[in-house]
Each structure stands twice: as C-alpha cells, then as structure tokens.
Chains A and B, each alone.
Chain A
Amino acid sequence: MAGEIKEFERKWGMVIDLDKCTGCGACVMSCQAENNVAPQDDATNKLRAHTWLFIYRLSNGKQYPEHSTVYLPRPCMQCGKPTCVEVCPVIATEKGEDGGIVSQVTPRCIGCRYCMASCPYHARYFNWFDPHWPGDLAEALSPDVSTRPRGVVEKCTFCHHRWMLAKDKAIANNEDPLAIAESEYQTSCAETCPNGAIYFGDLKNPDHKVHQLSQSPFAFRLLERLGTEPQVYYLSKREWVRRLGDNYLDDEKTGQPLRKL
C-alpha cells in the first residue's frame, strides 16, 4: 500500500547552492507576489505564517569563533514518494504526471490537515483565516494563481502555472510545448535570486543545469533516509551542512556522494 516512487518523462527539480545563499529573502518576497499569498499583520509566529519557501538558519553547533552559519531555503520538496499524497482522503493533492510536481487543488481540499501531519518538511500551510489584502493590495493579485479561502491547505507548486503558460506560449508560437528551453520555465524564486543560488529545470534532461548539479558529490537531499525521494537537491562543500540534511547516529559516516537519479 505504501506509495511507489513514481517516475515520469520529465522531473522538475531544484538545486540550491547553500554556499551561495545569503538568506536575504528576495526569493520569499518573489514567491509571495507570484503566488498571491495574502499578507499577514503579524508573521512573527512562524508556525502560523505562510512561507511556501522558508529560510532556515543552520548552525554547525560550535561555539564562537569556530561557529559557522548557513541559510537554507526550503520550498516544497516535491517528493518522488510524497508522504502527503497517499494520505489525502479526497485526492486534493497528487503527484503530477507532468513533471512530478506535487499539486494542491485547494477547491477540492476539505482542510483535514492530514497531509500537514504527514510532511516532515513542514512545507504545507493551512489557511487559518480568510485571506485579507488590506487597502488596495488586492489590486496586485496575479491572474495566474487562484486565491485560497480559509480552511484549505496550500503549498509551493514550483510555480506550476508558469509551466502551463510556457507551454501555451510555445503553442502560440508554433513550437513544441514539451521541448521548451530551460529558461522558458523557471520558478519565481530561482529567477529572482541575485546570487544565483537556486537552479531549476528538468532533472532528467542532460541539457539542463540541474541535471549535472544534482549529481555533484556535494549534493544532498533533506531527510533522504525516510525514502521520500525529494526533487529538491542542496549543494554544499561543507560536510557539516550535508550532515545536517538528515538524521544520523553519532557513529554513522556522512558526506558520501549521493547518486539516486
């Protein structure tokens, strides 16, 4: 009954170079504007704040001056074997067959939050209240992503709407919609990052940057031992950062290259 790891022709994935992230939050700002995430009066309670893309500050656990810090942006991992999809009672979320993006159909969602309880990455967010755009902020709503009412779960979709729009653009220009260039479909966070820390593309397409990067000896994924097979890879040349990507017993070695494509 446990979900199988699904393989598709395309596999949209992300590679985040942690050695280049300054934690500035430009990606988070872009994400919100792109996806019509409603603002909140107070977002200091991070357990109630909608951050489809959340930036963690990691520590190597040592004292000053040996201490080292790294910022880790965490979008939805778009797991190959998602914890959330199997558990949804109403099929409001599914592993998309067109690139393996885990969708969230908010009009179907009944808000039981079982998917949130299942996700070890906390990538899912519940609309505790109705969204509110004070003043004229609703004027800035993008037509590409629907607004969500209270009582439903939402999450990062790898800006799936951009993929749909890119395909339509290709059709309108008599091009093959399934053979678009890497640059035609980029997530909002990836294109925004001033440091170029976020790469996005088809993990299976050798022409795409993420394909090679995901096979780097410095690549790792979060909580890989759970078997979720995330489609988001992280890169760091620092061993302690890679080790923080998963739970290890003290006597276990880490830092081995991961090749699981």
Chain B
Amino acid sequence: MEDKNQNLENVTKKSAILGLGPFILGLTIAAIFGWHAFPELMTKELKQPVAFNHVVHIEQAGMTCEDCHYLRQDGTFSGVPTTAACAECHSSPITENQEEIRFIAEYVDKGVEIKDKWLVYQKQPDNVFFSHAAHNFETCTQCHDYLYETPQDLCNACHLDVASTTTPPVYKENRLSGYSKNTMMMPTCEACHANPEHYDGITRATNACAVCHK
C-alpha cells in the first residue's frame, strides 16, 4: 500500500513536467487536422467548362458588363449568358483561340446550353431568392457612396472580381453540401437585413424570412 502511494506521488511529480506533453501533442495534431487538412479534404476543385476571358471581352471587344449581366424587364436577373447569346458573335470562330474553337464545337454547334454548365461562384441554393433588382447601385450608394464608387464595386461586394481575370478562378465546392466556397451565407445577408437602419428610408428592407427564402 505504501509503495503504491509512493509511486503515485512520483507519477504526479513527473506529470507536472511531462504530463502536458501528450495532451499538447494530441491537441496540436487535432487542431492542424481540423483547421487545415479537413477543409482541404472536404473541398473539391472544379474547372469552368470554358476558360472564359473577361478581360478580352471588355477591353478588346469593348463589351460592358450589362451586355451579358442585365436586369430583365420583368425584374429578374439574367445571370450568365446563354449559348445563344454567346453565339451572336461566336457562331463561328472569330479568333484562333483554342478555347473559343472548342466552345463553338462543343456548345454552339451541338446546341448545349452553357448556362447550365457554368459554375457560378456565388451560386445560391434553390431555397434562396436573391433580388438583383433590389440590391441596386442607385439605392445602396445613397448612403454607402464611399464604399461603392462604381456599380462594379457593388457587384464585387458579393461576387468575385472576375471582370479583371483572363482565366476563370478555380471553383471550390464542398463535397458534402455542394456549396461553392465563395457563396454568400446567411450572416452576410443579415449584416444588412437584420440592421434596423435598412428598414425605412431608401432601402425599406425587411428581415422577414420569405424575403430571401422561397
């Protein structure tokens, strides 16, 4: 009995120095796994179906954002252009670009809809209703003019700044939820919608569920 107690005391003394070792080791491994390895594991990287070059379209073709991404007459947003819209210029190759040639062969000629294949970085699930009409530049800049100098700034508040890219960024998708890594989540919506300052005046927003959910 004596011996045992002696042992116990020794152990207690030792653990005072070494005891935390295994704990810290376990903690570190788990933390590294949890913070780094696990998110990697959960993410799938996808390439866009066509290496669309925004810069070329803006700078060389002289297009504006609104040529493709516009508000329809009925208030809905066009989003990504359709194959038919692309084919207005690209019915046959107008450059030597391999991607363009491939796009025409695989999409325009075969009548495949690019809109269905394109990966939207801010893709919202079906249960979300986002109104591009309501979140417009004129309204937001009544107060937030220092934040958004151009309409594009407002777009970039949620969207990736793809307009300045020559090749589309990699699309990162969560394997389990299927959500894009860049998509906007509810706390971001609530940053404005749960802020009572937006309830009157110019924005007249509400935080009712069905304003964003359908």
Partners in one complex: yes
The interface of chain A, by Cβ under 8 A from chain B, is: 91, 93-94, 96-98, 101, 103, 105-108, 144-147, 157, 160-161, 164-173, 177-178
Number of interface residues of B (CB under 8 A): 23
**What residues on A are CB-neighbors of B134 within 8 Å?**
167-168, 171, 177
A105-B209, A147-B126 known; A170+B214 contact, CB < 8 A:
no
One digit per residue, 1 when the CB lies within 8 angstroms of any chain A CB and 0 when it does not, for chain B 119-156 equals 00000011101010110100000000000000000000
Neighbour of A168 across the interface among B76, B206, B213, B214, CB < 8 A: B76
Neighbour of A96 across the interface among B74, B208, B214, CB < 8 A: B208
Docked pose: A105 CA to B136 CA in angstroms: 25
Q: Are A103 and B133 in contact (CB under 8 A)?
A: no
**What residues on A are CB-neighbors of B209 within 8 Å?**
91, 93-94, 96, 103, 105, 108
19 contacts between A and B (CB under 8 A): A91-B209, A94-B209, A97-B206, A98-B208, A103-B208, A107-B127, A146-B127, A146-B214, A161-B129, A164-B211, A164-B214, A165-B75, A168-B131, A169-B75, A170-B75, A171-B133, A172-B72, A172-B73, A177-B134
Q: Are A98 and B211 in contact (CB under 8 A)?
A: yes
Closest 3 CB pairs of A and B: A168-B75, A169-B75, A103-B210
**What residues on B are CB-neighbors of A164 within 8 Å?**
129, 131, 210-211, 214
One digit per residue, 1 when the CB lies within 8 angstroms of any chain A CB and 0 when it does not, for chain B 98-115 equals 000000000000000000
Docked pose: A173 CA to B72 CA in angstroms: 10
Docked pose: A98 CA to B72 CA in angstroms: 24
Identity of the chain B residue whose Cβ is nearest the Cβ of A144 in the assembled complex:
B214
**What residues on B are CB-neighbors of A161 within 8 Å?**
129, 214
